[in-house]
Structure 1
Amino acid sequence: MPIILIPIVLFLLYMAQRRIFNRYWQRGLMAELSFDQEAVSEGDEASLTEVITNRNFIPLHILQVNFQTDVGLFFKDTTNASVTDRVNVIDVFSLRFYEKITRNLLMDCRKRGFYNILQTSLVASDLFSPDIHYADRKQSTSMYVYPRLMPTDKIDVPFQQLMGEVQSRRFLYEDNFTFRGIRDYAPTDQMSDINWKASAKTGAMKVNLHDYTSSPEIVLVLNVEEPGILFEIELIEDCIRITRTLALKFIQSGIPVSLLTNGKDKVTGEMIRLESGSSMDHNRNFCRALSRIDLTKETGDIEALVRDELHGGRNAQVVYCLISTSRRDGVVKASRELCDEKGKLVWICPLTKSMDMRAPDDSRISFVKIMHDSYL
């Protein structure tokens, strides 16, 4: 072949290779991202798995995989991650034809929240061409980071106060479907309670004893309103942590607990309301609801929220607990309305040493201060 034809042949091969790459580079290219844990707590370690598959005859020598998630997850390989208003992660792969690569990215879960990844951007380039190619792949993976539990000694006092209030308001009545023994008949006993078989056997009138059942309920009123112009955001996070810890302790004690908050859901944008329950499944739902509170959204009016709650005709045996670092007028009014309804109220208030320590001027309010610095 004449030498003069060699550059022409090479140019034609280059153009053919470039055209084939441009047309087929993303055929059979898949990117799948998944959090390895469904839920963790603040301070835990988690991991994210990337699976990149090239089911194609074209090798991808340089492939960038880009994705974003909310701030709060700290990826340990910081060379590939940058933080602005979101966490941006760039991972570089080199794939031969028909190859699959799996990587695990370790991360520290430093902040409560609901984290999801909805899309991955792919950026590919050819060694023989200056062209850069872009493609997107949809993702659907999410992870809850629950608020961490508070040290037990920090909330033991308000917990015992609330348990005492539950006991004092406990409404006891006999459950005819339970049985705990037999005793002698008394003139005040009903005929339906007589155990005729035991009476015939002993020759004396006997009546059945029934267990008692109770219907107490705790409502945790969580206010995530800012306490002032200059404040530590951790104080509101402390309120959320206290709420989770109290809910768990009540559930472990068999006391139904519900959540009323002016915090808004990150996904739906609506104020969160969780009905009462006392199972471990309810505890999981409680943790998820608290994880999804978005403090960047405008909070609801706590006074209106409490007023609507009290007008709803809830069970008279309900015990309310207010958890709020804010002591603005609206919060104080809401607390007094709860006192008017129930006679007294436990208010748990996280504070720092530099804040005003004065309690609301109402003897019906048991004001419990929890110092932020004491458990950092």
Structure 2
Amino acid sequence: MEVLFVLAFISIFIALQSWIYRVYALKNLSARIGFSKNIAQCGETVLIEEMIRNEKALPLPMLVLKFEAPRPLIFEDMTNTSLSDYHYREDLLSLGAWKAHTRQIPVKCKKRGYYSFKRFSLTTSDLMLLVKIVYALECDATLTVFPKQIKSIDFEIMLMSFIDERTVKKYLIEDPFAFNGTREYLPTDRMSAVNWGATSRCDELMVNTYCSSVHSEISILVNVEPYTNDRREDCIEKAISIAYSTALVLTQRHFEVAVYCNSRDVLTESDIRINRGSGPKHAEKIGYHLARIDLSRGCGDFDNLLEDVTRSRRDLSAIIISANTVNSLQRQLIRRHQNGFDFIWIVPLNIYDPEPVILDALKPLTKFWRHRFDG
């Protein structure tokens, strides 16, 4: 009889606790996963932050937190992590009543991109581990990894030699707020420039003069069209990094920079068009948009992009970055150069790649850039 009583008690207990956990295990249970920062540089280490709160009197003896992280985010510790198309992470823990769990997992940003967590879930159970309860969660955390910055004195020398010798158009613009005195009137002066007070004192027409300011603008045009039959992307990634690094160099020297690319934005699916601007905020904007280029979505026609850009600005100075060197593109560049389009063409190459054949008319305008880096 006592054995039957014990068995009945155990059965009732198992059934009761199983029912309690099915009903209440997910009550007042919250979880969040995110990144320690929203923007990172390529090669930088950031933290994935886990936080789980159990705000009730019911303990959770077994919790499994699962998430899928993008493959270019490299886990420094692969414990509880498997690698396939994504990093699959499972963290096992127990959480008492009114307790919280936090964990920080360092990951290295290997490649530029716009990253989020594809799946995020919690799995728990009853005291006897007989009932499996799965809680699928939403996660809006994102991480934008900027293209890799090229830190090379040779790279800066290449850019600055182009800027100093041939490309940058310097327009002397009178600054109306920088008064620089008066001078005698010339037949080419506007009557609106006459200083009537000075004229009355000098008994001859006098005009205002102003200090001049230098305005310099450069456009960066990036071509992401495939350059090999097997559609390799390594030199296209180098082109994107060159574009970002060029923008940093120019904005730090107070040039106004515009960026155009025939790629597709991972969020908007439109091509990249960043109007001219300068300063650190503008450089960050450029890095943000270049990070969001999704090469898997294809690209637009680069010649159409060239036509749009050069149609609006006849006096444009540009840096063209393209790993694609097909003859049709070269002939288009020659034609536009003959029509007054002033540019330099940077061709990114891998360390041991042979130099592609460049038409004679383009050779003085072409620079080959080899630089060893990942991402």
**What TM-score results when the alignment is normalised by the length of structure 1?**
0.89
Could you tell which deviates more after superposition, 141-150 or 129-138?
A: 129-138
Corresponding residue number in structure 2 for 1:237: 237
Distance in structure 2 (CA, Å) of the matches to 1:358 and 1:371: 13
Distance in structure 1 (CA, Å) of the matches to 2:350 and 2:295: 20
Distance in structure 1 (CA, Å) of the matches to 2:372 and 2:106: 30
Q: How do 1:49-198 residues align onto structure 2 when only pairs under 5 Å count?
A: 49-117=49-117, 119-155=119-155, 156-167=157-168, 169-175=169-175, 177-188=176-187, 189-197=189-197
After superposition, give the CA deviation of every residue in 1:18-68 in whole Å (9 maximum; x if it has no partner).
111112111111111121112111111111211101112221111111112
Q: Which amino acid aligns with 2:321?
A: I
Distance in structure 2 (CA, Å) of the matches to 1:252 and 1:374: 23
Q: 1:196 Cα deviation (Å)? A: 4.7
In 2 relative to 1, CA 348–101 (structure 1 residues): closer, same or farther, beyond 3 Å?
Answer: same
Distance in structure 2 (CA, Å) of the matches to 1:192 and 1:323: 45
Structure 2 residue 244 is the aligned partner of structure 1 residue 254: no
Q: Which amino acid aligns with 2:51?
A: V
Three-state SS of the structure 2 residue aligned to 1:79 is coil
Distance in structure 2 (CA, Å) of the matches to 1:375 and 1:292: 18
Q: Which amino acid aligns with 1:348?
A: I
Distance in structure 2 (CA, Å) of the matches to 1:92 and 1:2: 38
**1:66–1:89 contact (8 Å) kept in structure 2:** yes
Distance in structure 2 (CA, Å) of the matches to 1:356 and 1:4: 85
Corresponding residue number in structure 2 for 1:320: 318
Distance in structure 1 (CA, Å) of the matches to 2:86 and 2:196: 74
Could you tell which deviates more after superposition, 149-158 or 333-342?
A: 333-342
Q: Which amino acid aligns with 1:273?
A: R
Could you tell which deviates more after superposition, 214-223 or 257-266?
A: 214-223
Distance in structure 2 (CA, Å) of the matches to 1:282 and 1:198: 43
Distance in structure 2 (CA, Å) of the matches to 1:208 and 1:141: 57
Distance in structure 1 (CA, Å) of the matches to 2:312 and 2:213: 19
In 2 relative to 1, CA 213–359 (structure 1 residues): closer, same or farther, beyond 3 Å?
Answer: farther
Distance in structure 2 (CA, Å) of the matches to 1:74 and 1:50: 17
Could you tell which deviates more after superposition, 329-338 or 23-32?
A: 329-338
Q: Which amino acid aligns with 1:370?
A: W
Q: 1:280 Cα deviation (Å)? A: 2.2
- Fraction of identical pairs, as percent: 24
Q: Which amino acid aligns with 1:368?
A: K
Q: How do 1:285-300 residues align onto structure 2 when only pairs under 5 Å count?
A: 285-300=285-300
Distance in structure 1 (CA, Å) of the matches to 2:109 and 2:365: 35
Could you tell which deviates more after superposition, 84-93 or 241-250?
A: 84-93
**What TM-score results when the alignment is normalised by the length of structure 2?**
0.89
Distance in structure 2 (CA, Å) of the matches to 1:192 and 1:317: 28
Structure 2 residue 355 is the aligned partner of structure 1 residue 368: no
In 2 relative to 1, CA 80–374 (structure 1 residues): closer, same or farther, beyond 3 Å?
Answer: closer
**2:54–2:97 contact (8 Å) kept in structure 1:** yes
Distance in structure 2 (CA, Å) of the matches to 1:363 and 1:238: 25
Distance in structure 1 (CA, Å) of the matches to 2:180 and 2:252: 28
In 2 relative to 1, CA 309–97 (structure 1 residues): closer, same or farther, beyond 3 Å?
Answer: same
After superposition, give the CA deviation of every residue in 1:63-84 in whole Å (9 maximum; x if it has no partner).
1111123221011220122221
Could you tell which deviates more after superposition, 230-239 or 77-86?
A: 230-239
Corresponding residue number in structure 1 for 2:274: 274
Q: 1:330 Cα deviation (Å)? A: 4.2
Three-state SS of the structure 1 residue aligned to 2:284 is helix
Corresponding residue number in structure 2 for 1:263: 263
Distance in structure 2 (CA, Å) of the matches to 1:28 and 1:52: 11
In 2 relative to 1, CA 84–338 (structure 1 residues): closer, same or farther, beyond 3 Å?
Answer: farther
Distance in structure 1 (CA, Å) of the matches to 2:231 and 2:271: 23
Distance in structure 2 (CA, Å) of the matches to 1:129 and 1:2: 26
Q: 1:163 Cα deviation (Å)? A: 4.7
Q: Which runs of 5+ in 1 are unaligned?
A: none
Corresponding residue number in structure 2 for 1:210: 210
Q: Which amino acid aligns with 2:348?
A: P
Distance in structure 1 (CA, Å) of the matches to 2:46 and 2:239: 24
Distance in structure 1 (CA, Å) of the matches to 2:29 and 2:339: 63
Q: 1:248 Cα deviation (Å)? A: 1.5
Could you tell which deviates more after superposition, 202-211 or 45-54?
A: 202-211
